[in-house]
């Protein structure tokens, strides 16, 4: 049996943590293939960036927990594949999502049109109260900006 004395600071910190309320939010990333969805998630979850990213197959699931005032917010993140052959799976991932981030590539005007289509689909078929974010990626690319 191991016993150690607990300081008042440790007790106070434990009490503060116990008072935190955890909220879970489902977040889905949507957009055409190779627009930067996975890079966005990797940066948010792991604070990492890889110049070359393998295409997502189906979807990838990651979580990120952050403290916010008296809350602990846990994001349950679905990073979806952008290839057309996986598009029919998208409703399975955005169903019940609190938020969606629709991503496009600023160097590709077709991806912007695709993003508009994703937003229309979310507004038609997503949750009535879903929060939709819109993000242009690849600002750091040497390619000329189209959007």
- What pLDDT digit, counting tens, does each position of 21-60 carry? 789 999 999 999 999 999 999 999 999 988 877 889 989 9
DSSP string covering 61-126: EEEEEEEETTEEEEEEEEEE--SGGGGGGHHHHHTT-SEEEEEEETT-HHHHHHHHHHHHHHHHHS
Q: What's residue 139's pLDDT? A: 87
- Strands of the 59-68 sheet, one edge to the other: 59-68, 71-80, 21-30, 99-105, 131-137
pTM of the model: 0.82
Q: Residue 31 has what DSSP assignment?
A: -
In this prediction, residue 5 carries a pLDDT of 59
pLDDT, residue 29, reads 98
pLDDT at 34: 94
Residue closest to 64 by CA, chosen among 46, 37, 40, 81? 46
Max Cα-Cα span within the chain: 67
Query: Which of the listed CATH numbers 2.40.30.10, 3.40.50.300, 3.30.428.10, 3.40.50.11540 matches domain 20-137?
Result: 3.40.50.300
Q: What residues of the chain score a pLDDT lower than 70?
A: 1-19
């Amino acid at each position: 049996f191991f016993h150690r004395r607990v300081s008042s600071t440790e007790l106070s910190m434990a009490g503060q943590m116990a008072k935190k309320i955890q909220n879970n939010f489902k977040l889905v990333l949507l957009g055409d293939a190779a627009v930067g969805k996975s890079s966005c998630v990797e940066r948010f979850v792991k604070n990492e960036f890889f110049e070359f990213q393998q295409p997502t197959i189906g979807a990838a699931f990651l979580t990120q927990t952050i403290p916010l005032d008296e809350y602990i917010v846990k994001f349950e993140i679905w990073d979806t594949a952008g290839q057309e052959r996986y598009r029919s799976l998208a409703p399975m991932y955005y169903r019940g999502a609190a938020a969606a981030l629709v991503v496009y590539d600023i160097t590709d005007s077709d991806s912007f049109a695709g993003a508009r289509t994703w937003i229309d689909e979310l507004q038609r078929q997503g949750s009535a109260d879903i929060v939709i974010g819109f993000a242009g990626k690849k600002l750091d690319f040497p390619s000329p900006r189209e959007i």
